A and B are shown apart, each in its own frame.
Chain A
Amino acid sequence: MDLHYSKEYLDFEKEVKAFCKKYDGVTFTDASKNPLASSSSKKKKIQITRSEWQKILIEQGYFARAVPKEYGGYGGEPDILKSRIIATEFSRAKTPAPMGGQGIDMLVPTLLEMGTDQQKEKYIKPTLHGEMIWCQGYSEPNAGSDLAALQTKGELIDGEWVINGQKIWTSTAQYSQMMFCLVRTEPEAQKHSGISYLLIPMDSEGIEVRPLVDMTMKAGFNEVFFTDVKIPETNIVGKRGEGWAVANATLGHERGSLAPPDAIMNRVHMLIDLMKEEKLDGKPLIEHPIYRDRLMKIQGKVMASQSHALRLLSAKLNPGQDVKVGKMIQKLVGTELRHELEGLAIDVMGEIGVLYEDSPHLRDKGSWQFIYMYFLGLIIGGGTSQIQKNIISERGLGLPKEPKIQGVQ
């Protein structure tokens, strides 16, 4: 066990601290109103656009570090420890994190791995700069956990893909310029080998985006309808019928990034503060033994998650450390834990905990209730907890698959 950084990394840590200090209080002229977006401090010293911030971070090597320069990245070697130092220091100093989203987290790694040179040149740079927003067109009303059952159809007619069908759960479709989309292009082929991965401009004729209001009462998702939508033949990643493999590469990226444990520990600290301030019958909640015990219980779980994240980090740095199952559990454990934590805060506040929107007496802008519900969405989305358990037990523990029912593909 050696939790020390070498001199190179200690120096890097100093550099990042100085950077955070320089940009203390940076705010965005085009900030989103999403309550989950990183909050900025009250001192409004530096005002820039989101895109300008992305460019500063890339120039510094703090974002898109391993993406080649020609595609708009920093062009360095991937360095897991440096990424961690950046994340830790940014979180500590409340410096706004680089933009995420499905284009940056999922499409860019996929294009780097499987895209043509032309696709890399055309899409990666504007995506990293936050100028091209992407949405993901995977799920359909009848293809959720069983994603490969998707039916949205793509036919190659006169050198163009003609797309018809419907997607659902499409986050950010209303702001997106592009969609990466799974479409059935080989209707005669087996279920998994009939799918292609297409890149669709959202301003194409025949696309209709309808907002889908979720239980938080925000339109976090959309339904997207395609009627004879035409896109160029070259807007395909991988070959015809290889879309399933391409999509699986990106799903791996998503599962890793949904619930970082350091963010949960920050939330535990906020919860401790909340329990010191909130009173029940005049006594701070932190002094009520039953609530306090629940707090300590959650803190123990979060500490385990944090230590586990260090172990996974170490395994990336030291090949040979076996953490196969350890990686598979992250989505399940992380999302369930965060949901439980936010739920405790609601119980701590009692009736005040169920106040919402702009109600009087609302605490922390209603974020506890919002995130509590939002994380129920994350427990279900991106592979439900039950699908995660199938993955862990079948791929991780080698338990046999459920036998197929005869006649069903």
Chain B
Amino acid sequence: MYFGLSEDQIFFQDNIKKFLEENLSVDILRKIAADDRTFANDIHDGIVNLGINGLLVPEEFGGLGLDILFAAAISEALGYGAGASPFIGSYVMAPLAIIGGGSDEQKQNYLTKIASNEVKFGVGFSALTGARDNSEIQIKGNKISGRSLFVLDYEYATHFLISDINGCIGIIDAQANGIDLVELKTIDRTRNVCELILKNVDFKILEQTKNSKNTAEKVIDAGRIMLAADSLGAAQNMINKAVDYAKERKQFGRAIGSFQAVKHMCAEMVAELEPCYALVWHAAHAQKHLPNEARLMACQAKSHLSDVTKEVAKKSTEVHGGMGFTDLLGLHYWFKRIGLNRQLLGTPERVREEAALLQLN
């Protein structure tokens, strides 16, 4: 019996953390936030060079054939380093959708190219996880129309993977006619989302998703676990920064961390976040090994982590006092990353409602 990350998982995770620590300082984060794409491209290339694109692609298609727990470990590392790169959409949700729903030909074609980095997917699932602003998707035959909001990982996308409200998933070519791509600006400048306005665009439906929501649900579950893991890493980084600051910063002639008002905030953050590691790992492990609990655990991991990390983001900023509020320290990049993760792929209330329905039916 062993509950935790394996040596391989920790090794991979450490590589990502190290790469980001060496290449993504707050200065560079600031440049990326100001839309300096050269730095963003470097970070993305560096992470892809570490092998994240082929992580979930089965070995027969040239990937590493690893599992969701492995991906969660990577997502945690990306959150920790505010990794300004596509991941959850392009390299987790997209390959899982094609593995689960694609025909043999579609798998051969797309999975191989994800692994070789020739194809990169943006992913739009908001029709299924909570449509806003009256957006909706209509699929008629081999054509798709409508609007998909908050499409993830669009900036390098050669293709998009879109789901309608019934979990019917298909692929469109980013160069196809009838696509209007509108960039959206969120608080989080380390990852970008867009709106796709589609008018009668060629749509290749993933065969197995025509009449079944199963694949779409699994893809969303995995995406939610990734968001939870990303927030976990980001929150841990914020706590570490707060604890370090509380040890160094002096007021009234002593380190502020010696005041109970401050040290108790640190203790509260740790007490809330520490069990989250186990919940995220357990939920990720369940996706492959505990099918009966997989959906519920994914929902609970997403909503619980959203709540805990929101508090951590607030408190760790407060520990820094006025400096926490400034752009000088750049703490807010993590605050905002946690803020975006919380709303993506279902708000906590919505996800908890799904969790309740899973248990009532």
From known contacts A314-B4, A317-B1, A400-B255, infer whether A300 and B270 are also in contact, taking CB-CB under 8 Å.
no
CA distance A232 to B178 in the complex (A): 95
B237 at the interface (CB under 8 A from A): no
Q: Hey, which chain A residues are within 8 Å of B270, CB to CB? A: 325, 329, 392-393, 396-397
B276:A311 contact, CB within 8 angstroms = no
Contact yes or no, A314 B1, CB < 8 A = yes
Are A1 and B3 within 8 A (Cβ)?
A: yes
Shortest distance from the beta carbon of A391 to any chain B beta carbon, whole Å: 8
Partner of B266 from the list A9, A289, A301, A393 (CB cut-off 8 Å) is: A393
Give complex CA distance A307, B285 in Å.
11
Kindly list chain B residues whose C-beta atoms are within 8 Å of the C-beta of A326. Answer: 274-275
Query: Across the interface, do A399 and B258 meet the contact criterion of CB distance under 8 Å?
Result: yes
Decide: A1 and B271 in contact? CB cutoff 8 A. Answer: no
A288-325: which have CB < 8 Å to B? 289, 292-293, 295-297, 299-301, 303-305, 307-308, 310-311, 313-315, 317-318, 321, 325
Give the residues in chain A near B254, CB-CB below 8 Å: 400, 403
Segment of A129-137, A161-169, A248-256, A382-390 engaged in the interface with chain B? A382-390
Quick one: CB contact mask for B162-185 with A, threshold 8 Å, 1 for yes? Answer: 000000000000000000000000
Using Cβ atoms and an 8 Å threshold, which residues of chain B touch A403? 254, 258
| Contact A397–B243 (Cβ < 8 Å) | yes
When each residue 47-70 of chain B gets 1 if its CB lies under 8 Å from chain A and 0 otherwise, what string results? Answer: 000000000000000000000010
CA distance A394 to B267 in the complex (A): 9
Q: CA A293 – CA B266 in complex, angstroms? A: 28
Chain B interface secondary structure, helix, strand, loop or mixed? helix
Q: Is B132 an interface residue (CB 8 A)?
A: no
Is B263 a contact of A394 with CB atoms below 8 Å? yes
Q: Is A333 an interface residue (CB 8 A)?
A: yes
Decide if A43 is an interface residue (CB 8 Å cutoff): no
Please measure, in the bound complex, the distance between the C-alpha atom of A1 and the C-alpha atom of B274, giving whole angstroms: 18
Q: B359 — nearest CB in chain A belongs to which residue?
A: A272
Residues of B within 8 A of A329 (CB): 270-271, 274-275
Asked if residues A293 and B353 are in contact (CB atoms below 8 Å), the reply is yes
CA distance A326 to B272 in the complex (A): 10
Residues of B within 8 A of A333 (CB): 271-272, 275
Known contacts A308-B275, A386-B264, A402-B260; A300/B3 CB under 8 A: no
Chain A residues near B3 (CB-CB < 8 A) = 1, 3, 307, 310-311, 313-314
Residue of chain B at shortest CB distance from A295: B356
A81 interface hit (Cβ, 8 Å): yes
Contact A307 B278 (CB under 8 A): yes
With the chains together, A277 CA to B154 CA distance in Å? Answer: 48
Tell me if A2 and B1 are in contact (CB < 8 A). yes
B257 engages A393 (CB within 8 Å)? yes
B274 and A325 within 8 A (CB): yes
B277 at the A interface (CB under 8 A) = yes
Within 8 A of A (CB), among B3-21: 3-6
**B4 and A386 contacting across the interface, CB-CB below 8 Å:** no
Check B268–A389 contact: CB distance below 8 A: yes
Q: A286-B360, A393-B264, A393-B267 are in contact. Are A400 and B258 (CB under 8 A)?
A: yes
> A4 near B: Cβ within 8 Å?
yes
- Given known A307-B275, A310-B278, A311-B278, contact A318–B2 (CB-CB < 8 A): yes
Is A81 a contact partner of B300 (Cβ separation < 8 A)? Answer: no
Q: What residues of chain B lie closer than 8 Å to A175, measured between beta carbons? A: none
Q: A282: CB under 8 A from chain B?
A: no
Measured as residues with beta carbon below 8 angstroms from the partner, the interface class of chain B is 35 or more
Complex partner residue of B6 from A1, A300, A307, CB under 8 angstroms:
A1
| Chain B 234-260: CB-based contact to A (< 8 A → 1; otherwise 0) | 000000000100110000001101111
Determine whether the beta carbon of B276 is less than 8 Å from that of A3: no
With a cutoff of 8 Å between Cβ atoms, the chain B residues found around residue A311 in the complex are 3-4, 277-278, 281
The smallest C-beta distance from A270 to any residue of chain B, in angstroms, reads: 14
Residues of the A chain whose Cβ atoms lie less than 8 Å from the Cβ of B294: none
Distance of A355 from chain B, by nearest CB (Å)? 27
Cα–Cα distance between A329 and B268 once the two chains are bound (Å): 9
Query: Of the candidates B258, B274, B359, which one forms a contact with A401 in the assembled complex, judged by CB atoms under 8 Å apart?
Result: B258
Evaluate contact between B271 and A399: CB separation under 8 angstroms: no
Q: Mark A74-91, 1 if CB is under 8 A from B, else 0.
A: 000000010000000000
Tell me whether A3 and B353 are in contact (CB under 8 A).
Answer: no
CB-CB under 8 A from A332, the residues of chain B are: 267, 271
A23 within 8 A of B: no
Q: Is the CB of B278 within 8 A of A308?
A: yes
Contacts of B360 in A (CB 8 A): 286
Interface residue from B1, B271, B356 paired with A292 (Cβ < 8 Å): B356
Q: Determine if B331 is an interface residue (Cβ-Cβ < 8 Å).
A: no
List of A residues within 8 angstroms of B263 by Cβ: 389-390, 393-394, 397, 399
**Which chain B residue has the least Cβ–Cβ distance from A392?**
B267
CA–CA, A409 and B74, complex, Å: 50
State the Cβ distance, B64 to closest chain A Cβ, in Å. Answer: 17
Interface pairs (20), CB distance under 8 Å = A3-B289, A4-B1, A272-B359, A292-B353, A292-B356, A293-B353, A304-B278, A304-B279, A307-B278, A308-B277, A311-B4, A329-B271, A386-B260, A389-B264, A389-B268, A390-B263, A393-B257, A397-B266, A398-B243, A399-B258
Other than A1-B2, A3-B3, give 13 A-B pairs with Cβ distance below 8 A: A1-B4, A1-B281, A1-B289, A296-B356, A300-B304, A300-B355, A308-B279, A318-B4, A332-B271, A390-B264, A393-B264, A399-B247, A400-B258
Q: Which residues of B contact A (CB under 8 A)?
A: 1-6, 69, 243, 246-247, 254-255, 257-260, 262-264, 266-268, 270-272, 274-279, 281-282, 285, 289-290, 297, 300-301, 303-304, 307, 349, 352-353, 355-356, 359-360
